[in-house]
């Protein structure tokens, strides 16, 4: 007696957001290995049908800057359990891939976060793609909420720490004007994605870092030199360059919507990524938490220190996606590219995830007609959620 072949899964009833268009009246077929099998008008035999009842089916959101979530801050819990809690909290809001992000801290904490990221990858924690180390090699003048007492210079020990081999992706944010010549090149050649941020680098210094292999810019406009008529600054260099990516915190508070629109007009959609810069309240219950000894409060949908300094955000990727449409005037395909396709390309993972295409991972999010998250899939495994 023959054994029945494993069932394919057909996701039906939703408009499917592709890289360049929206498809209607077709089903997305998933195989048994967590991959996208095909788009089809006719369902194959031996197929489990999941009717999504309308709305949109999109590639899952990818967030490259996530400090915390579910009442957990990575700095306080640089462990695989801490990372697991953060990833689970953000999955409720459509994030199927993320890099837990460490805010500037002492070397032992950096090492612990990197080790925890590797453990999470090895354990297959859903959604974890690597780790983002934001600092501590930043400019004190542009420190934002970071603790400058934890800042340190880049030396050979730092480069060795940051280039420990990884099975995932590693982002490092630094101030390029304070790093010795060759630092960006050494990190980039080891596979690290180096981003500029919290920096006073001028246009020429930024261009020098780009020549060494700078891959991107952390939260464009925030904590960096601005675009002026005779001094283009880091923002000017970021918008001029065509090989890098930049994160945008689209909450209407970190950056004015007009500036967001200008960035897209100047650079084009290819370089823009939605990021949350999220803190523990996302997916949690806290309205206050402690960061480096400071009390941080959720105020008007963002997080602020005692003096009003922005301290990350309480933004979700689902809300950032909606804001990209509502504040920036993006259509759903463009917003999806900013939330999924472009981050995947930045991470050098676009052959694996970030779009809906046969052979790619079944990393997906379903939004109802109000654009609220109802379900996610990571490697084909479904989890229902009510946003």
Active site residues: 277
Q: Is 198 annotated as a binding residue?
A: yes
Q: Is 37 annotated as a binding residue?
A: no
C-alpha distance from residue 7 to each of 3, 47, 49, 364, 382 (Å): 12, 5, 10, 19, 15
Helix, strand, coil tally for the chain in percent (to 5): 30, 25, 45
Contact 244, 171 (CB under 8 A): no
Q: Is 134 annotated as a binding residue?
A: yes
Q: Is 106 annotated as a binding residue?
A: no
Q: Is 297 annotated as a binding residue?
A: no
Q: Is 288 annotated as a binding residue?
A: no
Which DSSP category does 135 fall into?
Answer: -
Which DSSP category does 140 fall into?
Answer: G
Q: Is 171 annotated as a binding residue?
A: no
Which DSSP category does 6 fall into?
Answer: P
Q: How open is the CA angle 247-362-4, to the nearest 5 degrees? A: 175
C-alpha distance from residue 183 to each of 76, 178, 196, 240 (Å): 28, 10, 12, 23
Q: Is 145 annotated as a binding residue?
A: yes
Q: Is 28 annotated as a binding residue?
A: no
| DSSP string of 19-55, one letter each residue | SS-EE-S-EEEE-TTSBEEEEESSPPSSEEEEE--SS
With b for 16 or more beta-carbon neighbours within 10 A and e for fewer, the 208-240 pattern comes to: bbbebbbbbbbbbbbbbbebeeeebbbbbbbbb
Q: Is 139 annotated as a binding residue?
A: no
Contact 372, 1 (CB under 8 A): no
Task: Return the structure tokens found at 130.
Answer: 């690597």
Q: Is 219 annotated as a binding residue?
A: yes
Three-state secondary structure call for residue 227: coil
Known binding positions for substrate: 145, 222-223, 230, 254, 310-312
Residue stretches of the annotated binding site for Zn(2+) = 134, 198, 219
Instruction: Extract the annotated binding site.
Output: 134, 145, 198, 219, 222-223, 230, 254, 310-312
């Amino acid at each position: 007696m023959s054994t029945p072949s494993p069932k394919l899964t057909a996701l039906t009833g939703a408009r499917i957001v592709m890289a360049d268009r929206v498809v209607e009246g077709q089903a997305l077929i998933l195989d048994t290995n967590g991959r996208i099998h095909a788009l089809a008008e006719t369902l194959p035999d031996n197929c489990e049908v999941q009717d999504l009842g309308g709305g949109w089916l999109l590639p899952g959101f990818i967030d490259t800057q996530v400090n915390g979530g579910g009442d957990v801050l990575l700095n306080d819990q640089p462990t695989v359990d801490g990372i697991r809690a953060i990833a689970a909290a953000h999955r409720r809001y459509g994030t199927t891939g993320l890099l837990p992000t460490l805010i500037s801290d002492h070397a032992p904490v950096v090492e612990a976060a990197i080790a925890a990221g590797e453990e999470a990858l090895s354990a297959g924690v859903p959604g974890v793609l690597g780790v983002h180390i934001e600092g501590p090699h930043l400019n004190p003048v542009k420190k934002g909420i970071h603790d400058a007492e934890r800042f340190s210079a880049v030396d050979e020990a730092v480069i060795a720490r940051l280039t420990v081999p990884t099975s995932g992706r590693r982002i490092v944010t630094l101030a390029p004007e304070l790093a010795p010549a060759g630092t960006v090149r050494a990190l980039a050649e080891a596979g690290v994605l180096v981003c500029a941020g919290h920096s006073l680098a001028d246009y020429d210094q930024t261009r020098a870092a780009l020549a060494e292999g700078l891959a991107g810019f952390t939260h464009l406009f925030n904590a960096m030199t601005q675009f002026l008529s005779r001094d283009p600054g880091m923002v000017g260099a970021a918008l001029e360059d065509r090989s890098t990516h930049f994160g945008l915190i689209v909450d209407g508070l970190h950056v004015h919507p007009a500036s967001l629109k200008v960035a897209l007009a100047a650079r084009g959609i290819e370089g823009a990524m939605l990021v949350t810069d999220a803190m523990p309240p996302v997916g949690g219950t806290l309205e206050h938490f402690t960061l480096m000894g400071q009390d941080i409060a959720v105020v008007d949908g963002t997080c602020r220190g005692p003096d009003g300094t922005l301290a990350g955000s309480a933004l979700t990727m689902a809300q950032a996606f909606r804001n990209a449409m509502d504040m920036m005037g993006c259509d759903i395909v463009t917003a999806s590219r900013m939330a999924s396709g472009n981050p995947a390309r930045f991470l050098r993972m676009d052959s694996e995830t970030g779009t809906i295409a046969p052979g790619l991972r079944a990393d997906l999010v379903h939004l109802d007609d109000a654009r609220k998250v109802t379900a996610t899939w990571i490697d084909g495994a479904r989890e229902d959620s009510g946003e």
